[in-house]
Chain A
């Protein structure tokens, strides 16, 4: 449902069905709503069967990259010599994204159940849920739910009498966007600075404490238990666009819409349905200027470009951006694109872990040049300088944070050149940035 709004007829509530219903938070409440049936069913299958079912469903990672989940699980070695680990990524810090928070605070058992299904499939006896430090209330809710899950037999030495051990530890972050990157997250769990690691080795080969590790997003894992319960065919049929994008997806919509919130729709739903029907469109007297569709790390789309854009991995790529995490930032005609792009660049400069030169220097200089332009001291050459910097920041670093800074900058310069020109020609000034 479009929490905090009632479910819109164009939504398909699977993951969000119990958002806003505090009764679903407890172990008993979750069981009453059909919870833990997916996990029980999974325990009656072989590991391989669970992986095959998830593969067949077409589920792809909801954390941003869209990597097929079943395939990721199948990379884990079959012979359990070293301990295997499952890490659940609940670091949700990508500007525009706030869907995992809703799963955590309303349906913590939905997540625990999904984590247990995933752990069983990859042969992991221990799960770490990495929750960002700022999610204080969600942390308390989750810790309580984990205790209940142990008491109810969904976790522990003998999960639901299957003889399988699955333990779950909640690990709290401490303020660092970069820890959402999977290898940085592993370092952070190990008690280190959150610097991303060079790949290979990939986590399935050498992850946490050099043991085989799989990392999945909150929404991905939550979906997995529904897939086991209802079957791959059911999930696969939830598809309105490209058959490579299946199931439902939570979209966090924020910014200048009348009803911001989390909406769950079938993959392939038109973006305009979401923005105008479900979210109620712009405020009175305002028109749509731009949408950043997949969290702040992806290229900006203009109002024209979102027409005919289908919300699935392929549909958004076709329009020149990415589905990413499903965090949509909607901007109306009151938005100062140059200022907001500077704010995003400042975000990445602040969050860079600083181990790659291109990223450390590139994010800082991008911010500084944009600030200079806003302060009325921009030069014509600055735009080429920004594009040149962006080129050097793309595809050249240990992780993609650097690319993520470049993407909105480059697309904004290409799609809204007149806004930059207005500052550079001094036709426009900003009271917010002074030299």
Chain B
């Protein structure tokens, strides 16, 4: 995942070259352009790390929707970032089934070892953002943690420093 661009930078079009081809490949899969919205937003996030105001306008344009409509959809879904996040985005499940197995201590260990002061904040070196997430659908492998696209099972506080070494 590429680094987050700053929120004030001028928008460089996302849907060019290979990403444009990926967008075009979506159209035959759905009977309407509107239905390509979620996958198109994923393409933006994969390319840029987050979904900026400029990207919202560009998505609206290519799918013949209004920016306000696109924004309404973006904000409904928790996985789309509407502001830049750290180079590595860490999601720790702390819902009840994991909670009773010690998930809050795992979340605390991530906060401590990344230097992120609090949940949702990015570490001063820009490396990490840590959040608590609701059930990841892997409750038998408490505590599951999603780092970018890597799904890691059975995380304990002791394993945290070792896991973080793999993310520069």
Contacts and interface: CB of A to CB of B under 8 A. Distances in A.
Contacts of A63: none
Nearest to A100: B137
Given A134-B79, A190-B34, A193-B76, A256 B101 contact: yes
Given A136-B146, A169-B30, A331-B100, A175 B95 contact: no
Interface in B119-168: 133-142, 146, 149-151
B13 interface: no
B77 A176 contact: yes
Contacts, number: 143
A97 B139 contact: yes
A180 B52 CA distance: 27
Contacts of A135: 137, 151
A173 interface: yes
A194 B75 CA distance: 11
B79 A191 contact: no
Contacts of B141: 98, 260
B35 A190 contact: yes
A191 B32 contact: yes
A340 interface: yes
Contacts of A335: 100
B32 A190 contact: yes
Contacts of A188: 38
Interface string B42-69: 1000000000000000000001000000
Contacts of A260: 139-142
Nearest to A90: B137
A95 B76 contact: no
A101 B35 contact: no
Contacts of A173: 38, 77, 79
Given A172-B38, A191-B32, A347-B95, A101 B138 contact: yes
Contact of B31 (A136, A194, A209, A252): A209
Q: Which of B29, B137, B139 has the most CB of A within 10 A?
A: B137
Interface in A336-360: 340, 343-344, 347, 350-351, 353
Given A96-B97, A172-B39, 18 more contacts: A93-B134, A95-B95, A96-B139, A98-B138, A133-B79, A136-B146, A136-B149, A136-B150, A176-B77, A191-B35, A193-B76, A255-B101, A296-B96, A340-B99, A343-B99, A344-B96, A347-B135, A350-B134
Interface of B: 29-32, 34-39, 41-42, 63, 72-73, 76-80, 91, 94-97, 99-101, 104, 133-142, 146, 149-151
20 contacts: A83-B31, A95-B96, A96-B96, A133-B79, A134-B136, A171-B38, A173-B38, A191-B34, A191-B35, A191-B36, A191-B73, A192-B73, A194-B77, A209-B32, A255-B101, A261-B140, A262-B140, A296-B97, A343-B96, A347-B134
Ranked 4 nearest A-B pairs via Cβ: A175-B79, A191-B37, A174-B77, A175-B78
